[in-house]
Amino acid sequence: METSTKPKVLIQPGYATGDMFAIAAALVDDDKLHVIITKGNENCKDPTDKADSIKKFYEESEIADYRIHVAEVSRLRGNNQELKKAICKLREQKEIPKEEVSLGYGTDYVAENFTKKMREEVRNAWKVNSNNEENDAIKKWLIEKGIPTRGNRLLILWSRFSGKNGDIHIEHDTSYFGTRQIIDRAVDMYDAIMITGDKGYQTERRDKGWRKKDDSTKRGHQFDKIAEEINAEVGTSKVFNITEFWNDENSNELSKWSGNTRMGQFKLYEYFETHFKEVKHLGFRSGNLEVMAMLGYKVLYMEEYGSIGGERMAKWNDNRDKILGEKGISKEARLDIGYQRILLNVLPTRTGKYLQDKKAEIIKEVTERIEGMDEKEKNELVRKDKIKNRRNKIRKEETEEDTLKRVIKEEIDREVYKRIKEEKIDRPHFTPGKKDGALKPNEIRDEYLRGFGYSDLNRIFDEYIRPKDWKENEFTIMREKKYYLDKRTTEDARSLN
């Protein structure tokens, strides 16, 4: 096990589950690293507080208890003063490293230190290797579900609905229609296609007026319908909905391979990896896909150009060679993490398209305003930058022209980020999981087509999904407008709460 030259402690908010896996990998590889997880106290009603779940995962990853700490606070966000006091109190009780690192440290650590040895360490920590009895139980469970236990090609599509549940990035939640587009086109190319991850966001609210379905309260029924319809069309069972399989209460086999636990879930994907000749994972950027990549599986994640937070994970793919080159790590010593991405021009959900347009409007307005500043205002930005960088000593020598370009770009980025937060583009007021009665704008339903754009879909297939030896024709379903007979009103929304 590798160790850092100096002990450090990482501060992790209890809502930051997406960072959990990279942090866990860093904790596994560096036995001097500690973590402090913020948890809401009895006065905190934040539904995104997953501190207990995060702590449990670190413990199951065999991180020593003395390196895992919990700081209770009344608010998980925007509460620096209380957090500092809570950490000071912890330091009085425990021996915690003085040097604090940011939330992104885990991502940076993996980018800079991922090796074959580290991969083996995380695979062992996450217990992906099943024994014979566990493999037999997995096989029996798959047979119960009518799922193939082996084959040539397997495509695993990851579903995400954490945004609708109130977390960040609702624009990256899964599109049912987009999923249908992919499966319709890929079904003949693969022996099996699995839909896994989140079942979906569905409540009784949808029985009111504008979205009537006999089983509208059954989460995930849309994926069942997709599988049933496509299987009927091809005349055999090739598409399977295994979303939230860990909650399966109708099988005695699940618990025999710990499939009802987070660690046990990994064993199923390892089984697929070893029993199919080629397995591909595809989904929007998420912590779950980070795990699949670190375990050594083939992964492609999607996000739009200019995605909020996209540069953070680019350290694992697009920007990694530059980072390692600057650290003097030779190409021979590097191991590809395998977390590859494809950038989309247009998001597949209507809400995603709407938020893309809102963000584009903000970027255009901010860019025009800042680039249109007079010389005095621009010089003031440069002056402040020089003061800051003399203090931090982080900038190399650059020309005055380069300095001005950089300063303007950084000012635009800061202002855009600020506006996105203020206007809640990252966590819209109409997010269903917030349950505050806010109404989704009618223009989302009425002005946007659902599904992937054709050029994006073609690139996904050209660069990833289509097998190299595939020569046959492909079926592409057209994007469509979903028509509604009613208009929702604020009174309607209030009556549902």
* Residue found under tokens 């506006």: 419
Contacts of 467 (CB under 8 A, 6+ apart): 153, 189, 278
Instruction: Say what the pLDDT of residue 490 is.
Output: 40
pLDDT > 50? residue 83: yes
Q: How many residues does the chain have?
A: 497
Tokens of 299: 């992964």
Q: Report DSSP letters for 214-246, one per residue.
A: TTTTSTTHHHHHHHHHHHHHHTS--EEE-TTGG
Instruction: Say what the pLDDT of residue 206 is.
Output: 42
Calculate what percentage of the chain has a pLDDT beyond 90. Answer: 67
Terminal CA-to-CA distance of the chain, rounded, Å?
53
On the CB side of 1, CA atoms within 13 Å amount to: 16
pLDDT tens digits along 251-286: 999 999 999 999 999 999 999 999 999 999 999 999
Instruction: Say what the pLDDT of residue 214 is.
Output: 45
Q: How far apart are CA 20 and CA 35, in angstroms?
A: 11
Q: Report DSSP letters for 384-411, one per residue.
A: HHHHHHHHHT-PPP--HHHHHHHHHHHH
Domains and CATH numbers, the chain: 8-116 (3.40.50), 129-349 (3.40.50), 353-422 (no CATH)
To the nearest whole number, what is the mean pLDDT of the chain?
88
Residue type for 424, please?
A: K
479: left (phi over 0), alpha (psi -120 to 50) or beta: beta
pLDDT > 70? residue 69: yes
pLDDT tens digits along 367-414: 999 999 999 999 999 888 888 776 555 556 678 888 899 999 999 999
Q: How far apart are CA 483 and CA 460, in angstroms?
A: 28
Of 12-16, 49-53, 150-154, 433-437, which gets the smallest average pLDDT? Answer: 433-437
Tokens of 405: 């370009």
pLDDT > 50? residue 489: no
> What Rg do the C-alpha atoms of the chain give, in angstroms?
24
pLDDT tens digits along 173-224: 999 999 999 999 999 999 999 999 999 876 544 434 444 444 445 677 899 9
Q: Are the beta carbons of 186 and 465 closer than 8 angstroms?
A: yes
Tokens of 248: 């399966």
> In Å, how far are 11, 34, 292, 360 from 102, measured between CA atoms?
6, 12, 24, 29
pLDDT > 80? residue 434: no
pLDDT > 70? residue 429: yes
For residue 488, the SS3 value is coil
Phi, psi of 379 (to 5 degrees): -65, -35
Of 346, 293, 301, the C-alpha closest to 171 is: 346
Contacts of 406 (CB under 8 A, 6+ apart): 385, 398
Of 282, 281, 280, 284, the C-alpha closest to 174 is: 284
Tokens of 438: 């806010």
pLDDT tens digits along 84-142: 999 999 999 899 999 999 999 999 999 999 999 999 999 999 999 999 999 999 999 99
Q: Report DSSP letters for 126-171, one per residue.
A: TT----HHHHHHHHHHHHHTT--S-EEEEEEEEE--TTTTT-S-GG
Classify strands 68-73 and 100-101 as parallel, antiparallel or unpaired: unpaired
Q: How far apart are CA 139 and CA 148, in angstroms?
A: 9
User: Would you place residue 435 in the very low, low, confident or very high pLDDT band (cuts 50, 70, 90)?
Assistant: low
Q: How far apart are CA 147 and CA 329, in angstroms?
A: 44
Q: How far apart are CA 170 and CA 162, in angstroms?
A: 7
Q: How far apart are CA 228 and CA 237, in angstroms?
A: 8
Q: How far is CA 185 from the centre of its chain?
A: 25
Structure-model confidence comparison of residues 330 and 409, the more confident one: 409
Tokens of 435: 């349950």
> In Å, how far are 94, 102, 114, 475 from 109, measured between CA atoms?
25, 11, 8, 43
Instruction: Say what the pLDDT of residue 481 is.
Output: 60
Burial (CB < 10 A; 0-12, 13-18, 19+), residue 133, is exposed
Tokens of 406: 């950089």
Tokens of 151: 């084959």
